[in-house]
Amino acid sequence: MLMVAKKLISLFLLVSFINVSWADSSKYLSDLLRDLSPQRAQELEAVQKNFLRYMLYATGKDDDQKYEIFKRARTYAKWELEKIIYNTRLENSALGPSAETRNVINPPRWTLAEEIRYIENSIPSDYRFDEESVRVLNTLFDNLDERLLNQQFFQINFGGNNLLPDGDIDAQRLLRELVLSQDDRERALLTVNVFEQYFEKNIQRIRSLGNELSGAQRIRFGGPDLERFITQFLNHYYQNLDSDVIRNMLSDFVELGRTPTDSEVMSIVFKNSGPGIGKLFQQLAREPGMDRGLSELLEVLESDNKAVPAHLMREVLEAKNLSYSLSHIEDRPLGTGTMAQVNAAVLELPTGEHEKVAVRFLKPGVREFAEYDIKVLRSFLNLPEISSSYEASFISNLRRIVDSLENFLYSELDIEETVQKQKLAREFYRQTRTVKVEGRTFKVDIDVPRVYQAGGQTEAVHIQEFIEPGVKFSDLNSKLEQKAVARAIVYTWFDEALMGTGFIHADLHQGNFTILPTEKEGHFRVVLFDLGMSEFIDDKLKRAFLLIGSGSNYDSPKLIARGFSVLNDEFDEAALFKRVKSEFAINRHSTENWILWGMRHGLIHSEKLGTLARGASLIRQLPYLISETEMEKTLTLVERMVAKRLIGNTVTRSNMSVLTPRDLLHIGGAFSKKSCTTLVNKIFESSP
């Protein structure tokens, strides 16, 4: 594939020597490019990549469109190759000392169509691959013979590795066919069609991504049913995906410049897919009871996403007609997610003062892509061959996950709702926690960025306080500091969720907060971000969670049944007890898995309780990143805090606990052999 591009570009190079004879131009070109400097070799490789992008852009078009795109590609190549020849002469001191290097075009990665638009906007509107250039090129073809086809200039070292495997493309054969062609249009279509055949093979491989990953044993999580389901769904999704999106993926493979690893294939494919795909796998990975084999895929999905290029970002913000005045918007994003991006900027306040802020905006096209993803997911679950191939409970659980996914996606798309959630989080989470770890005292300030709103007006972007880049949890200086920060976050989360307002940040993994050390030793500021998955749970849900958690970890089917009955007055607690006891004899589930079991069997219809369970499972990952022992220590302290709150509130009757006196009596009976300090011990332990 690259060899074809190299040899075609060699011909375009020759066109730059219109007034030089064939023999002289061939020799001059060989001498000029045989010993390229690293800088010029990189420029030539960039031209090759962009020429391949043009050929990729032409695939699937009709013949008239293909011919026009090929002519534009040829114009681009001549424009860039003239720069490289100029830069090479400059290196060789053939030009004056005041001459400056001319930069070749390097479009930022986004969509293939946007990359081509960027290239063409960079070429002067009056520049053309003119009739004389076409005449010279066709003269070259007309005069090529077997001897000249193998001349040295076709083997010039352009530098770099193969961009894509050559496959079945024979460069010399293509050139011979071009020689036999009759006119410019015929030669152009022949060239484009050769590239199209090659790219089509790669497009079909992506459309069978499920089979490709399964065959490479990259889908190995959650049991055979889920693995088979994921394989079938990926095939269905990519078989129906718009061809332009798949071309975006192939453009990124071209940019990579070599054969990708399996992880790079997954990264490129998923980062060019809709936001629903990434969020679906994130939901599955965090689903209570899910196999940990999803962690590798989750790591790919949670790494940096494809950033919106600076020029396009400015176009998006300018089109919003903001009531605020923003300036000095930085090109490099502070963070890029599956649906939105955050860039630093300067905000002019009503007072005339200026303040540095963070501007969060939705990525172009993300709303339509999210709607498409939900539509495909639902249509797939409704296929007769799918619904009849799995147990009803399996499909029912997946429908629940898709419902949750849809709510999350539309919540993320609602800027106003996100702003309101962040304002609530700032009100509820801002506090200072004092924690002791191995004899040392630490202070941790939990914080949430403030939000800017113009007189309550709903904005099309989310403008918030700028937070200086901090330290990742995993990059803290010592395990001691990690333990202190982990405990402070876990305390705050559980305290607010179960003993406070019921507000929960259900996506609080380590990528959604940053740590800012202060001037004082042992004092940290932890700033929480990405509140899109925040929820409120009411006292009934808190009570159910505590009862189910107590029963699952203290071997009490009666308490678990009581927790389920709290959620629906129509349930017969005695009948529930029999069902739970029967399951208990087979499986000793964790708290989260009992909740999942209840959802599967129709005992729980509240998605918020599932959100609480998933959020609790996620927040517990922080101590696990340090060690399992630290997890146990942290949770023991959390349990003591909860126990103290429960007992204190019940005795004083002020701010009454969500657990009734009868609940506490049942818990006390179940744990009569336990000490008071372990009253609700292990409620939040992870799955075995």
| Tens digits of residue pLDDT in 455-483 | 444 567 899 999 998 998 888 888 889 98
Contact 397, 600 (CB under 8 A): yes
Give the distance, in angstroms, between the CA of residue 400 and the centroid of all CA atoms in the same chain. Answer: 22
Higher pLDDT, 529 or 65: 65
Compute the distance between CA of residue 43 and CA of residue 41 in angstroms, rounded to an integer. 5
CB-CB neighbours of 438 under 10 Å: 9
Residue 498 is classified by DSSP as I
Tell whether the model's pLDDT for residue 533 goes beyond 70. yes
Mean pLDDT of 42-47: 87
Compute the distance between CA of residue 416 and CA of residue 357 in angstroms, rounded to an integer. 18
pLDDT for 654: 37
Place of tokens 């590795």: 161
Mean pLDDT of 269-275: 90
Higher pLDDT, 176 or 543: 543
Compute the distance between CA of residue 346 and CA of residue 466 in angstroms, rounded to an integer. 10
Show the tokens assigned to 545.
Answer: 């969670």
Least confident of 411-425, 442-456, 632-646: 632-646
Q: How confident is the model at residue 573 (pLDDT cuts 50, 70, 90)?
A: confident
Tell whether the model's pLDDT for residue 538 goes beyond 60. yes
Tell whether the model's pLDDT for residue 677 goes beyond 60. no
Place of tokens 């062609």: 181
Q: How confident is the model at residue 530 (pLDDT cuts 50, 70, 90)?
A: confident
Q: How confident is the model at residue 150 (pLDDT cuts 50, 70, 90)?
A: very low
Q: How confident is the model at residue 506 (pLDDT cuts 50, 70, 90)?
A: confident
Compute the distance between CA of residue 119 and CA of residue 105 in angstroms, rounded to an integer. 6
Mean pLDDT of 169-175: 59
The share of the chain scoring above pLDDT 70, in percent, equals: 70
CB-CB neighbours of 334 under 10 Å: 16
Least confident of 20-24, 38-42, 499-503: 20-24
On the CB side of 209, CA atoms within 13 Å amount to 22
Taking the CA atoms of residue 297, residue 302, residue 303 and residue 308 in that order, the dihedral angle to the nearest 10 degrees is 120
Mean pLDDT of 491-500: 85
Least confident of 245-259, 308-322, 524-538, 648-662: 648-662
Tell whether the model's pLDDT for residue 312 goes beyond 90. yes
pLDDT for 56: 94
Q: Which range scores top for mean pLDDT: 147-156, 280-289, 381-390, 569-578?
A: 381-390
Compute the distance between CA of residue 472 and CA of residue 482 in angstroms, rounded to an integer. 10
Closest CA to 399 of 424, 374, 419, 416: 374
> Taking the model in full, what pTM does it have?
0.78
pLDDT for 322: 74
Question: Mean of the per-residue pLDDT values for the chain?
Answer: 77
Q: Which range scores top for mean pLDDT: 139-143, 232-236, 624-628?
A: 232-236
pLDDT for 220: 62
Compute the distance between CA of residue 338 and CA of residue 302 in angstroms, rounded to an integer. 9
Least confident of 44-58, 176-190, 236-250, 492-506: 176-190
Tell whether the model's pLDDT for residue 15 goes beyond 90. no
Distances from the Cα of 28 to the Cα of 24, 81, 85, 89, 149, angstroms? 6, 14, 11, 12, 17
pLDDT for 94: 57
pLDDT for 113: 96
Compute the distance between CA of residue 274 and CA of residue 372 in angstroms, rounded to an integer. 8
Give SS3 for 261.
coil
Tell whether the model's pLDDT for residue 80 goes beyond 60. yes
- H/E/C letters for each residue in 186-235? HHHHHHHHHHHHHHHHHHHHHHCHHHHHHHCCCCCCCCHHHHHHHHHHHH
pLDDT for 650: 42
